[in-house]
Structure 1
């Protein structure tokens, strides 16, 4: 007798990483893909692409049970807010009741003993996933290359000037689409990726080095202009961001710039084994986003 396909729910399905996970999974007919969205308008946009969606709002707990009905595996990504702790717990409690078996969680960078606050919050969510008895894959991306384009609505690169807040520090980078590809592999074959914590960072560069790569690839002059981390705080406040979370990011920027966080430039060699591909490096990322970066 034929068996039904496992249903995979992608939360934040129209966000940067969630949207990329949806695209990675959309052509695979071994699963039944379900996209979690917060509005009917976003649901319609997905329906136009032939993708089934459900209404799911982390701040409306009454939406969780219906969204999770019949779901076998989930990709969990929460917003840049201290509310992620409450949201994740309520979602995972509802997922447990619904019979979800595997959770691929989008966390943050850092080793287990990190003292960077928002990185540690994500690790508390990881521990709750484990405590709840789910099969799991923890994803810990380093800095997203997409931050060069914008961060929470604030433009990072404008007419050849890269404005960022970590001084001359070198940090480890990953393309968000590569993170989504790892997530999709974990969701398609959870038996191969269960119990794994994947740290995802493959190219260590300073912003000045990134600007030099942009100059070489795009044939236009780019330069890095280091800004005080306090400027970041003011920009996030002006953008309406949740400031408890952004204050943690501000602290991590200050500590990174001063060299007080060891290992921020650490890279890893797990990507090819997980995906069968090589990770995107900065030269390729700049070529891929030429239209957004060129001026």
Structure 2
């Protein structure tokens, strides 16, 4: 049995879609007690044991608002080990090995220390984040507002991550491995704005704000302080050149060329205008 956390998010939805195609038995975790799914709340450790009992594989995704790895993830991993979880597939972050600022770094350490076989998926920045996190600026202000400087990012489409994750959850041979997942091209946000402008038929500008300007704007939008801090850490990764790496891992796991940014822009055109 597989337990899927974060099933309503960008990646989680795609993982669920792929598992349904393969008719693999799985359960969906939900923080709502009145849900039809398995009650599992990262902020309520009492929910861990009932949800994990009988589970052999866990797809673990960190909720965006949770940054304290030791407080929330240590008890979870301890209980996972106690109840006999045999494999944890954790959605981490590209370049996390060199970036202790983000919580993913600490979560990976906790999982490794537990001795539970793991697979760390370390994707680059999701193309779909431009919609979920910055769609408002794109649609209303026709701008991309992120503090990434001129740094390049090897963007990845969450549809490809979903395909790869489902395969790893249903195949053997991926235990105790980390995969750096990227697209086949690295783009800076000026190039991203240019591609979007061409596809959408209107001018999209990349605004390169300072960290303080970005922080202030995100907080005014109502985004929680902890999540804004994580976002800053991720964009800092891009700014200093750690997000531009292109690896063959995704293409090897997929067995085909990954989705390009231009293809993404075309497919999601009506969500970007």
Q: Same fold (TM over 0.5)?
A: yes
Q: Does 1:289 align with 2:268?
A: yes
TM-aligned CA deviation for residue 130 of structure 1: 2.1
1:105 is aligned to 90
Deviation by residue 1:165-221 (Cα, 9 ceiling, x = unmatched)? 2222222211122222221111011x2211210111113101111111122223333
142, 148, 160: which one aligns with 2:124: 142
Change (3 A) 1:247 1:123: closer
Q: What is the root-mean-square deviation of aligned Cα atoms in Å?
A: 2.2
Q: Does 1:123 align with 2:123?
A: no
Q: Does 1:201 align with 2:186?
A: no
The range that moved more, 169-178 or 205-214, is: 169-178
Change (3 A) 1:156 1:96: farther
Alignment of 1:49-68 (within 5 A): 53-68=37-52
1:49 is aligned to none
Q: Does 1:8 align with 2:36?
A: no
TM-aligned CA deviation for residue 224 of structure 1: 1.9
18, 28, 52: which one aligns with 1:24: 18
Instruction: Please tell me whether the aligned partners of residues 163 and 226 of structure 1 are also in contact (alpha carbons under 8 angstroms).
Output: yes
Change (3 A) 1:115 1:14: closer
47, 67, 73: which one aligns with 1:88: 73
TM-aligned CA deviation for residue 237 of structure 1: 2.3
Q: Give me the TM-score of the superposition, normalised by structure 1.
A: 0.83
For structure 2, list consecutive stretches of 5 or more residues without a partner in the other structure.
none
TM-aligned CA deviation for residue 137 of structure 1: 0.6
Instruction: Please tell me whether the aligned partners of residues 154 and 235 of structure 1 are also in contact (alpha carbons under 8 angstroms).
Output: no
Instruction: Please tell me whether the aligned partners of residues 90 and 119 of structure 2 are also in contact (alpha carbons under 8 angstroms).
Output: yes
Residues of 2 paired with 1:88 and 1:158: CA distance? 36
Q: Which fold has the larger relative contact order, with Cα–Cα distance below 8 Å and residues 6 or more apart in sequence?
A: 2
Deviation by residue 1:60-100 (Cα, 9 ceiling, x = unmatched)? 11111111111110100112232344222121111111111
Q: Give me the TM-score of the superposition, normalised by structure 2.
A: 0.89
Size of the aligned set, in residue pairs, is 270
Instruction: Please tell me whether the aligned partners of residues 150 and 157 of structure 1 are also in contact (alpha carbons under 8 angstroms).
Output: no
